[in-house]
Chain A
Amino acid sequence: MTLLRAETIVKRYGATEALKGVDFDVHAGAVNVLIGENGAGKSTLMKILAGVETPTSGRLLLDGKAVRIGSVKDAAAHGISIVHQELNLCPNLSVSENIFLGRQNAGLIDRRSERAETAALMKRLEQDIDPDTLVGDLRIGQQQIVEIARALSDKARVLILDEPTSALSPTEVEVLFRIIRDLKSVGTGIVYISHRLEELLRIGDHITILRDGSWQATAPVAEVSMPWIVRHMLGHDGQAAVATSRDTTAATVLSVRDLRLTRPDGGYSLDHVDLDIKAGEIVGIYGLLGAGRSELLESLVGACPARGTVRLDGKDLAGLNVSARVERGLCLVPEDRKAEGLFPNLSVGGNLGLSSLVKFSRLGLISETAAGRAIAAMIGLMGVKTASPDLSIGALSGGNQQKVVIGRCLMPGPRVLLIDEPGRGVDIGARHDIFARMRTLAEGGMSVVFTTSDMAEAQTGADRVLVMARGRITADLSPSEATEAALIAAANGVPESEMSPA
């Protein structure tokens, strides 16, 4: 039964047409999957369903009757709720305050019942999160759980989940899937957007594919295969980067000994970590949420006050701040691209060139020709899809923004590139590009260390897979050893010795 139907939706932003007459049905009691590369128009379509944007033309039908959804409040009144891809929480408020934000009735707030309901939601989501915890103190994955809890508390008829699992651990994903099944059984229509195709095949019932703002295909999930999806998304058969075993005799570039980072509660975020990275090596660090992967990379560039020895090309980096380490050839592409990677007020070129301005300066003045040439070259190298380097960075899709942040790190010519979750919020086309580029650069002698919570990414993208759990490195595996079983065991803290069958 079709609960909500979007008919020939067109959305124009100025001269660009984000949606070119798209049809989309939300079936009741089913998971309606929407996929497509970034920039295909998924998020725009969802924003229209959720009342964040209004369509230029086309109409929405709820239970067969045309409705106007002009605002988020309208959508809520019609029982449509959305979990946005980007987190929209107030870090200075508690979990329960965030969940009930904007829905308090006039008069005094009933803190006790809000707290009780929050506790119940957290129990349902199998989370050990105190309703009074400040959202800012939670990890990104936990914040995403809070977003989901907020949408659940709406008791919506149509629930839109835009990349809900991008920061969730496998266990949390399972909990979410269980809840999705519960909601299906009571007739909720779920719209599910994700870049993780294997997830979609597991949970989805109906699948719709968009490409460049146009409808491509719709089919029951039972009848589709991975190649079919990839073909419709890309318009051609994609191929994955294949890892090859690298030269093991190469010199050690980065050497880390006894790296320690203490948590406010006295425990270790990084628990005596030792690590060696060779020249031209691509190392993937797999782990669950809170395993200490981001902390490790941040400590290496000096953005975290960790103790221990970090040597780059044999030279101790003790006491050097971030800018000095960047100069010496360590560079971090942060996990939270929006808050830590991009300058929203600068152009694409401005973002790319920022770490290498001194190189382009003559007598203190930036040489626009030299900078422009280098920026154009980097746009070409990274395959950034942009009409011009002068375009605002906000106009680019997530995948292209990620390429820009990586490109900025590459411009000064680093020795070791650190990338925290290169695939987060990035479509598969761009992800493929990024990994292919990392491979080329590694062949040129640069080392790459990236973190991931995606097993496939760890298995195919790296020459060597490290697994972290509770601040420690629990496994050091070759691509062939990095089976799903081995990764899961190590990520849950089972020592390497107990993993191999005796």
Chain B
Amino acid sequence: MSATTQTTPAPSDTKGGVLSLILQLRTYIALIAVLAFFSFAAPNFLSVASFTIMLQHIAIIAILGIGMSFVILTGGIDLSVGSTAGLAGMVAGMLILNGIVLEPLGIVIYPSIPLVIAITLAVGALVGLINGALITRFGVAPFIATLGMLYVARGSALLSSNGTTFPNLVGTAAHGNTGFPFLGAGQLLGVPVPIWLMIVIAAVAMGVAGRTAFGRYVYAIGGSERAATLAGVRVNKVKTLVYIISGLCAALVGLIISSQLVSAHPATGETLELSAIAAVVLGGASLSGGRGTILGTLIGACVIGVLSDGMIMMGVSEFWQMVIKGSVIVAAVVLDQIQKRFITGARS
């Protein structure tokens, strides 16, 4: 059995089967449509170089979106991911440039790059843990808890440098902390590292969502939290974990962006939370939880990425880009509602 969950059940009738299939595959169709459109409309769109750049942009949204997917599947939301990415970049920048200053001993320790990455990821996980604790222990609504964290994390990022940029994060050989730019700009087998990261994270996330007890619990909680509690699911633990996952993904994105720019700016990641949510929603997830897939989010991220980059290549004004992106997101949700009505109509 594929006990599940991720896909809305295929209606068994043939009447209207084609239409319902089209509705189910709408995200893929949307992706193919935007790809086809820009292939004709945008010059140089169909080239390895532009696809590589585009995929790197997609990786940012996709990684955030995958973390966000777990949160949204439980029926929650994480508005803090953009700020957390910004904060993470600043933590990494500070560690590389200033090291860890141990005042009483009068020494400065410069952690190696793997250690910098580990510490930064830990900061992201901590942000998620705080979100999760606020939501599960103190009953704060996810929207409010993470909205608060959006401000706190952004403020902390600004405080860390007094609002300035940590520039030139190449490290020094003497401190043993060179190599940071590899994360964002390096290549493995000719493919940029951020794309590899996206692929690996997506594969792991799909396995976790579809094949582990934790993943099933995430769907169950989104379906009915009370039923999950009575079925013996450790609801608070699972809910806390999804915010930690989201925080980890956000921190990784912060690392990738600061590595690509070889500098950390405290405003990095502003409004990225909205792109991540949009990717999840475009991927067919329900904001009330319980429905959605990692693959859907991945495709959703591709639609947003292709749309943005394609419009830039076409020279569409930034203002129009916003109008079009917003319309696409709303249209996706309208289609989702139509599909839902279709499926409930096919049942009693």
Nearest chain B CB to A213 CB, angstrom units: 11
Which chain A residues lie closer than 8 Å to B207 at the CB level?
A: 365
Selected contact of A375 from candidates B1, B5, B14, B219, CB within 8 Å:
B1
Selected contact of B348 from candidates A301, A323, A395, CB within 8 Å:
A395
B1:A390 contact, CB within 8 angstroms:
yes
Whether B227 is near chain A, meaning CB under 8 Å from some CB there, is: yes
- Residues 15-50 of B, flagged 1 when their CB comes within 8 A of A and 0 if not, give 100000000000000000000000000000000000
B220:A354 contact, CB within 8 angstroms:
yes
- Tell me whether A354 and B216 are in contact in the complex, defined as CB-CB below 8 angstroms, given that A14-B13, A322-B229, A323-B234 are known contacts: yes
Interface residues of B in 80-109 (CB under 8 A from A): none
Total interface residues on A, using CB and 8 Å?
49
CA distance A344 to B226 in the complex (A): 12
Which chain A residues lie closer than 8 Å to B348 at the CB level?
A: 13, 18, 44, 395
A14:B12 contact, CB within 8 angstroms:
yes
A375:B347 contact, CB within 8 angstroms:
no
Selected contact of B291 from candidates A321, A345, A347, CB within 8 Å:
A345
Which chain B residues lie closer than 8 Å to A343 at the CB level?
A: 219-220, 223-224, 227-228, 290
Which chain A residues lie closer than 8 Å to B1 at the CB level?
A: 347, 349, 368, 371-372, 375-376, 389-390
Selected contact of A347 from candidates B5, B14, B15, B222, CB within 8 Å:
B5
B219:A346 contact, CB within 8 angstroms:
yes
Binds B, one of A71-79, A158-166, A333-341: A333-341
B224:A344 contact, CB within 8 angstroms:
yes
Whether B231 is near chain A, meaning CB under 8 Å from some CB there, is: yes
Selected contact of A355 from candidates B219, B232, B291, CB within 8 Å:
B232
Which chain A residues lie closer than 8 Å to B227 at the CB level?
A: 334, 339-343
Whether A493 is near chain B, meaning CB under 8 Å from some CB there, is: no
Which chain A residues lie closer than 8 Å to B220 at the CB level?
A: 343, 346, 350, 354
Interface residues of A in 297-340 (CB under 8 A from B): 301, 303, 321-323, 325-327, 331-332, 334, 339-340
Nearest chain A CB to B339 CB, angstrom units: 14
Which chain A residues lie closer than 8 Å to B213 at the CB level?
A: 357-358, 361, 364, 366
Q: Which residue of B lies closest to A390 (CB)?
A: B1
Interface residues of B in 205-233 (CB under 8 A from A): 207, 211-213, 216-217, 219-220, 222-224, 226-233
- Tell me whether A365 and B212 are in contact in the complex, defined as CB-CB below 8 angstroms, given that A13-B347, A342-B227, A350-B5 are known contacts: yes
Whether A392 is near chain B, meaning CB under 8 Å from some CB there, is: yes
- Residues 272-305 of B, flagged 1 when their CB comes within 8 A of A and 0 if not, give 0000000000000000001100000000000000
Which chain B residues lie closer than 8 Å to A389 at the CB level?
A: 1, 3
A341:B223 contact, CB within 8 angstroms:
no
- Residues 1-39 of A, flagged 1 when their CB comes within 8 A of B and 0 if not, give 000000000000111001000000000000000000000
Total interface residues on B, using CB and 8 Å?
37
Whether A391 is near chain B, meaning CB under 8 Å from some CB there, is: yes
B222:A340 contact, CB within 8 angstroms:
no
- Tell me whether A354 and B233 are in contact in the complex, defined as CB-CB below 8 angstroms, given that A345-B291, A347-B4 are known contacts: yes
- Tell me whether A342 and B224 are in contact in the complex, defined as CB-CB below 8 angstroms, given that A347-B3, A368-B2 are known contacts: yes
Q: Which residue of B lies closest to A363 (CB)?
A: B212
A332:B216 contact, CB within 8 angstroms:
no
Which chain B residues lie closer than 8 Å to A334 at the CB level?
A: 226-227, 230
- A to B contact number (C-beta, < 8 Å): 134
Selected contact of B231 from candidates A326, A349, A365, A394, CB within 8 Å:
A326
Q: Which residue of A lies closest to B290 (CB)?
A: A345
Whether A292 is near chain B, meaning CB under 8 Å from some CB there, is: no
- Tell me whether A327 and B15 are in contact in the complex, defined as CB-CB below 8 angstroms, given that A391-B9, A392-B347 are known contacts: no
A354:B4 contact, CB within 8 angstroms:
no
CA distance A332 to B228 in the complex (A): 12
Nearest chain A CB to B70 CB, angstrom units: 15
A346:B5 contact, CB within 8 angstroms:
yes
- Tell me whether A322 and B3 are in contact in the complex, defined as CB-CB below 8 angstroms, given that A13-B346, A14-B346, A366-B213 are known contacts: no
Which chain A residues lie closer than 8 Å to B211 at the CB level?
A: 365-366
Which chain A residues lie closer than 8 Å to B11 at the CB level?
A: 14
Nearest chain A CB to B337 CB, angstrom units: 16
A332:B230 contact, CB within 8 angstroms:
yes
Nearest chain B CB to A241 CB, angstrom units: 26
CA distance A347 to B11 in the complex (A): 13
- Tell me whether A345 and B223 are in contact in the complex, defined as CB-CB below 8 angstroms, given that A44-B348, A350-B3, A391-B9 are known contacts: yes
- Tell me whether A390 and B229 are in contact in the complex, defined as CB-CB below 8 angstroms, given that A14-B11, A323-B234, A345-B223 are known contacts: no
Whether A353 is near chain B, meaning CB under 8 Å from some CB there, is: yes
- Residues 356-399 of A, flagged 1 when their CB comes within 8 A of B and 0 if not, give 01100100111010011001100000000000011110110000
Nearest chain A CB to B232 CB, angstrom units: 3
- Taking A340-B227, A375-B1 as given, write out 18 further A-B residue pairs in contact, using a Cβ cutoff of 8 Å, ordered by the A residue number: A13-B346, A322-B232, A334-B230, A339-B224, A341-B227, A342-B223, A343-B220, A345-B219, A345-B222, A350-B5, A350-B220, A354-B216, A354-B228, A357-B217, A361-B212, A368-B1, A389-B3, A390-B2
6 tightest Cβ-Cβ pairs between the two chains A and B = A326-B232, A14-B13, A357-B213, A343-B223, A345-B290, A345-B223
